[in-house]
Amino acid sequence: MFDKEMLKNILSAFGPSGREETASEVIKGYVAPYADEVYNDRLGNLIAVKKGTSGRKIMYSAHMDQIGLIVTDIDEKGFLRVSNVGGVSPVISIAREVVFKNGTRGVTYFETEKGIKDMTLAQLFIDIGCESYEEAAAKVDVGDMCIFVSNFVEMGNKLSSPYMDDRIACAALVEAFRTMKSEHDIYAVFTVQEEVGLRGAGAAAFAIEPDLNISCDVTGMGDIPNCTRMSVKLGAGATVKAMDSSVIVPVKVREFLKNAADKRGIKWQNEVLRAGGTDTGAAQRAGKGTFSGCVSIPTRYIHAPIETIDIRDYEAAIALMRAAAEEKELPTV
Ligand code: CO
Ligand code: ZN
């Protein structure tokens, strides 16, 4: 069974892009007892290392940053104006609860005069219950970020929560790292600023120079009413990525992952993600180039505060990451 308490703590830790410190501390608490070394680099990436004997290195990467909102202005009545941090849909941002790092809570709504139809984030505001600029400015500053709050919902094998993207993969990487046995050096990297342009993973891969990077992120699916067709469905296993907007995964890397899964009876699906990039691409381009692939967890309603996954896919992703570490032969030129 999965460690529900750990999963909830990782899902709810504050950490919008560029402000990942709290999330990093929470994750560090879970990986440190199993690591030979844990450190943060200059960008804030959290890196946990387990030493092996083969002289080869596998890097795993899951991003710990979250999408959210950043305060651009505070008006005379104490309402906050905002811009997006990462891919935030204006319509999905209305009528939500948000929280700031210092615990200040608020609710979102929009200027109703122009209507909701072509609504942009310029019409969105946050009500933090204040009546003046001074009262609001005492709680929140321009430049502060907030994240969306919603419940952790259990629906049979399905789990719904904000920030499955990508905390579900952070939790999966923690679980895999805790139980991993490998003759290779293992670098579990919890990356920063993925949602604003894959900024953390490249620096980490450049510094580590791994023989193989395996990113873990959420991916889309094609199993809800009238959505864009996609072969991925929830409950059918972790996916082995072929392509997304940031990367074409080399056949050698895909075969490596598929073979590792098949040998152990781990369920996997092929994945082509039409839109959206991942750390996979940033790691691939780092330094002189890196063998880079991705194990994804199929997710419904990505970037809405009710992202929904299947616990069996989560467990398959953990098993597949662990399996890759056990393989003696890594992809080579
Ligand atoms: Co995302
Ligand atoms: Zn993601």
Reported pTM = 0.98
176 residue type, one letter:
A
How much is the pLDDT for 2?
86
CB 308 within 8 A of CB 272: no
Active site residues: 194
Question: For residue 326, how far is its CA from the centre of ligand 1 (angstroms)?
Answer: 29
**Distance from Cα 326 to the centre of ligand 2, integer Å:** 26
What value does the CA radius of gyration of the chain take, rounded to a whole number of Å?
20
For residue 48, the cross-strand partners are 38, 188
CA of 243 to the centre of ligand 2 (A): 15
Nearest-ligand number for the alpha carbon of 67: 1
Q: What pLDDT was estimated at residue 211?
A: 98
**pLDDT tens-digit series, residues 60-81:** 999 999 999 999 999 999 999 9
Pure H helices in the chain: 4-12, 21-31, 133-137, 164-179, 199-208, 251-263, 279-285, 311-326
* C-alpha of residue 219 to centroid of ligand 2, in Å: 8
pLDDT at 99: 98
Residue ranges for the chain with pLDDT beneath 50: none
Report CA(228)–ligand 2 centroid distance (Å): 19
3-state secondary structure of 73: strand
Q: Between 4-12 and 21-31, two packed helices, what is the crossing angle to 10 degrees?
A: 160
Which of helix, strand or coil describes residue 283? Answer: helix
